[in-house]
Structure 1
Amino acid sequence: MVDAVAIDDEAVIAEVASAFGCYEEALMKYDPVALDGWFWRDERAIRYGIAENLYGHDAIAAYRRTRNAVPGRVLRNTKITAIGRDAAAVNTEFQYPGDERVGRQSQIWARMPEGWRVVAAHVSFREEFER
């Protein structure tokens, strides 16, 4: 069980914030090799995207190689929750220039021997519906 004191450890949040910043930089520069490096190299890594469900590092890497650069985006409401010393959740909203939709991105990061890696990710858009 995670002790309440271990939630939101400032050092862990700083480490994950740095890793997340490097991931975001690689995404904006569209560096698929760097992006691949941020995902856990394991068949259990998962990425649910806007229109795809990817299972395993190899599938995620192959998908990245078929994509083009994403338009610059603005992040907001980025929240990092450290869970013990070796795991964290990163949640953020994003918006692309000229697109009124609000995107959402969630990532679970884990400390691996090689450093912090994304073990699961989910990207979606919040669609506005009138009821």
Structure 2
Amino acid sequence: MKLTVYLAGEIHTAWREELTDKVRTLDLPIDFVGPMTDHDKSDNIGEIVLGEQVDAIAKDEAASQINNLRTQLLMKKSDLVIALFGEKYKQWNTAMDASAAISLQKPLILIRPQALHHPLKELSNKANVTVETVNQALKVLAYVFE
């Protein structure tokens, strides 16, 4: 059995690389997909496709449409979603992706530090598993294949 895992969460730290490297080390049969992690490309994709927009709001709207399409397609094809909430960045996209996974009835592993327990309690309650670290999520993935 091979799984496709959508990695939702902030794109400013190397948590995805940390997880994918550890999965490769364990030789788990997992393919990873996720949002566009090139921040500039994500912000500018609307203008790349549609040309220059009239203002910053129109630019954001054009990019959002394309990014949302990409997310929807990749998440629907995924077997599992892992959503990471870190302490440093505001993460509305992570919350949106985790909620979308729940709506799509995709199994969800939520990674969030203990400090975010209270603001994420309802979302955590809807996730299949809530952990505090990438290593704990890795252990859950490894357990699936035991």
- Say yes or no: TM over 0.5: no
Query: TM-score, normalised to structure 1's length?
Result: 0.23
Query: TM-score, normalised to structure 2's length?
Result: 0.21
